[in-house]
Amino acid sequence: MKLKPFLAATTLSAFGLLAVNQSFADMENPTGAYIGGNYGYLKIDGEDDFDDDNDILQGVVGYRFLPFVAVEGSYVDFGEYGGDLANASTDGMTLAVKGTFPITDNFEIYAKLGQLWWETDYEILNFGGDTDDKGLFYGGGVALGITPNFYINAEYVVYDTDLDASDVAEDVDDTDFDTDYRQASLGLEFRF
């Protein structure tokens, strides 16, 4: 008698999986808008006192105008980082082209290349200021569809930034700090 509930549950699960799989197969033209968010780990590598590890938050909006190509924008909060002599907090906006290659109906890999516009508030040797600039970034990741509209992703992105503190610390020999932000994050994406 205990076999009947097991068979019923197994049969319902199998039909449910078939329905989800069929809904992925029915997606003939995966174009349109999407929104999402990422949370992850940020490694800040530089020639200065700004080497640090941090959390990163990112909001994403994009549009796939072809099945394999999207334009994506985001707001990124890089958080606060630094040490006793120098510390900073950075946020920025991005715009990128994203190329996607589907492996299966619900699993894909992607790469992106774009521009970061960032602003940093900093303090160096007890002198404060802010600066803004732009830099390139590149990255890639994987996305797994849970439903045809809901995806989870994992990605790795490298942002190239330079901090010029000459306005604040004129007596410091080198005020141009080359710093890379390296982001590893997990995210959620909803496709309309």
Residue 166's pLDDT is 53
The pLDDT, as a whole number, for residue 1 is 47
121 pairs with which residues across the strands? Answer: 89, 130
**pLDDT score, position 115:** 96
Cα 118 from Cα 83, distance rounded (Å): 21
Element (H, E) at 24: helix 3-25
In terms of pLDDT, which residue wins out, 75 or 49?
75
Residue 67 has pLDDT above 90, yes or no: no
pLDDT of 184 strictly over 70: yes
Sign, CA torsion 147/24/59/180: positive
pLDDT at 13: 54
Q: Per-residue pLDDT for 43 more than 80?
A: yes
pLDDT on residue 103: 93
Average the pLDDT over 72-101 and give the result: 88
Phi-psi region of 126 (alpha: psi -120 to 50; beta: other; left: phi over 0): left
Please name the amino acid found at residue 48: D
pLDDT level of residue 22 (50, 70, 90 thresholds): very low
* Lowest-confidence region among 7-11, 29-33, 98-102: 7-11
Residue 52's pLDDT band (cuts 50, 70, 90): low
The 10s digit of each residue's pLDDT in 143-167 is 999 998 999 999 999 998 765 555 4
Q: Which of the pair, 50 or 117, is modelled with greater confidence?
A: 117
Q: Are 92 and 119 in contact (CB under 8 A)?
A: yes
Q: Outline where DSSP puts E strands in the chain.
A: 32-46, 52-66, 69-82, 86-104, 107-124, 127-145, 150-164, 176-191
Q: What is the DSSP string of 156-192?
A: EEEEEEEEE-TTT-TTSS--EEEEEEEEEEEEEEEE-
Domain 31-191 coded CATH 2.40.50.140: no
